[in-house]
Structure formats: C-alpha cells, structure tokens
Amino acid sequence: MDEIFKALADPSRRRLLDRLRAHNGQSLRELCAGLDMARQSVSKHLALLEAAELVTTVRQGREKLHYLNAAPINAIADRWISQFDRGRAAALADLKRALEQPPMDNNAFVYTTYINTTPERLWQALTDPAFTERYWGVRLETDWAEGSPVVWAERGARTADPEQVVLVHEPYRRLSYTWHTFTPQWARTVGVGEELRAELAGERRSKVTFELVPHGNQVKLTVTHDDFDPAGALRSMCSQGWPAILSSLKTLLETGEALPTAGQPVQEG
C-alpha cells in the first residue's frame, strides 16, 4: 500500500496516469511526446508506477506498451472504503472509476494482479473446469491443445462454435483463447435480452490472453482481453466483469474460498 500512495503523491506521475486514461496502451516514446520531462525522468516515473502496480506493461514487437491497472485501487477499496464515510472516500472512488473506465483510443482491456500461489496452481485454476466453475461459474471444456474447440458450459447451457478455439497453450506461462459465442440459449440462461444479444453477436470475435510470471512467492497474472469491435458493447461489459472474476480467483487461491460467483463479464448490469 505504501508504494501506491507514494506513486500517487507525485503530480508528474498523476499526469502520466491521466495521459494513459485518455489514451491507454502507449509506448514510452508516445508518453514522452508533449511532456516537459526528459525521457529518463518519464522512464523512472513509469517504473515507480509499475512497481506500485498502477501501470502494467505488455510487449508488442520491440515496444513496451503501458496500460492503467485497476487492481491496486480495488485493493484499497476492499481494505478501507467501507470504514470511512463517503466524503472521505470520494477521492479514492473517483480514481477507481477513472482507472476502470474504458480507454478512448485503445480498446484492449489489460488487468494485472499478484496472487500468493504457484504457477502450477494458478494454471490449474485457469484450465480445470471444476476450478473455473468455483470462481467464475463457467466450465471450459477442452483438451487445451492449440486449435482445439472450447465448449463453454454455464448453468446448464452449453455453447460451442468452430471459431471458439484455443489459440496459445504454453503451460504455466501463457494461455489464450477466443471468446465465446452469443447464442439465444446462452442469453436466456444468463438473463441477457435479445436486443443486446443480437448486438453482441454482430460484433467481431474477441480473445483473452493470460500471462503468468513468477514473482517471489507470488505469481504476476496479466489478463489482456482485446480484438473488440471498437463500436461494440462487449468491451465495456468485459471491463466491468473481469475485476470481479479475478478478485474471486485470487481469493479462492489464497483462502480456499471463492467470492460469490462472479458470472461472466458480459452479463447485463
């Protein structure tokens, strides 16, 4: 927690966060443009923000892209918000909303959290249907070979499609698959209206990627959900759902008890 407050105390670092909020997924070169700061200073500020987990990075070719990360703000809220009146919590609540709102120019959703577990245990939690059902309410049925179909099972509804497949399978390191298909049966099961379901079904298929990196006695988990239709509704819905799902995953692995089922990150409300 000390690192978070230290990072937020500096106006230059807050300015960098504001720039990422306006345009997420920027390189160091892009962030330096228009700032009255030396490249080395910007790099040091970003390193402090990343150490505080307020910024997470994703490699794209030779560049490293920087994204806002809402996980530390969620942690602050979980620990203290309920103990203070709304007036005292207003600043933190505003910052939390700012970090979680969809970016204006980059539609990838990136979220990083640190979990007290092992890569093997976390990998099991991401790939074992009995595990995913506990913290997500969804069973992912597949052999996890690259190119294999993935069947999504939820509350008795089973969703399959030829384009619903495993993209990357690197045990204990990286997992990626295309997002599921929005069928009428799925919509009835999770309570999504037909108008919204049709809109979602008309969007291009997105994908989700999980990256696991050992970090001492923890594992750094970065979730990137991208390839959204820029004009679609799915991106906003997923950005609201993933934090709850990952919080439940973290709680399950660290305490043995999941939070109340988070549900899929595409449900209404």
Distance, CA of 176 to CA of 49 (rounded, Å): 27
93, pLDDT greater than 70: no
Question: Are the CB atoms for 172 and 159 separated by under 8 Å?
Answer: no
- CATH 3.90.1150.10, domain 2-106, yes or no: no
Query: What angle do helix axes 86-100 and 71-80 make, rounded to 10 degrees?
Result: 160
Please give the model's pTM, rounded to 2 decimal places. Answer: 0.68
Q: What is the CA radius of gyration of the chain?
A: 19
Residue 159, beta-bridge partner list: 152
Tens of pLDDT, residue by residue over 186-240, are 999 989 999 999 999 999 999 999 999 998 889 999 999 999 988 889 988 888 8
The fold for domain 110-255 equals Alpha-D-Glucose-1,6-Bisphosphate; Chain A, domain 4 (3.30.530)
Q: Domain-by-domain residue ranges, the chain?
A: 2-106, 110-255
pLDDT at 243: 86
Question: Are the CB atoms for 190 and 207 separated by under 8 Å?
Answer: no
